[in-house]
Amino acid sequence: MQYPEPIAKLIDSYMRLPGVGNKTATRLAFFTIDMDQESVDGFADALIAAKKDLHYCSICGNITDVDPCEIDRDPTRDQSTVLVVEQVKDVMSIDRMNEYHGLYHVLHGVLSPSEGKGPEDLNIESLIKRLQTNDAIKEVIIATNATPEGEGTAMYLARLIKPAGIKVTRLAYGLAVGSDIEYADEMTLLKAVEGRTEI
């Protein structure tokens, strides 16, 4: 038996979301149908507003509804450091810790020759312009993921930035708290040794 067309379209729409398969999409579709009209209208309005009102900050590339974003407009933040991340969600994760109080720059991906992603496909040019025009920035912290693509992107950025005399650092990677050495892979152990600190 086939679903009526409106349900089939709704299921198909949910299946376009990352990580949502047919079963989950079907469950979400029927859940949506059972919602009261006010909730459905609110849900639809939120989707439309997110698509219409959000854009990327012209300075850092973070997602925002005002330009520049709230972080770049905050005079209390440390203007001397810029933490470079792959995605917008990384900004949210790091800022939620409330330990880093500097600025951010979002690349919107990493260099990946196998996927045809080069420097021109990332938010790198605006980072370089930002560093050239802002004398207050003294350190760039590269916080790309510890993947081959993330490491390659970090090395590429370091080669671009270092000649300008700006300090370039990399987030330490290594063993997670509570993990056993015997279960760690070689890359994790290597990063743990390289990122060791004095006690």
Is 58 inside a domain boundary?
A: no
pTM to 2 decimal places = 0.82
Q: What is the CATH number of the domain that holds 151?
A: 3.40.1360.10
Is 47 inside a domain boundary?
A: yes
| 188 HSE (CA, 13 A, CB side) | 10
Q: Do the beta carbons of residue 147 and residue 117 sit within 8 Å? A: no
pLDDT in tens, 8-67: 999 999 999 999 999 999 999 999 999 999 999 999 999 999 999 999 999 999 999 999
Q: Say yes or no: 99 and 177 in one domain.
A: yes
| Burial of 117: CB neighbours in 10 Å, binned 0-12, 13-18, 19+ | middle
pLDDT in tens, 164-177: 999 999 887 776 76
Is 22 inside a domain boundary?
A: yes
Q: Do the beta carbons of residue 105 and residue 123 sit within 8 Å? A: yes
Alpha-carbon distance of 7 to 28, in angstroms, equals 10
Which structural domain, as residue segments, surrounds residue 153? Answer: 74-194
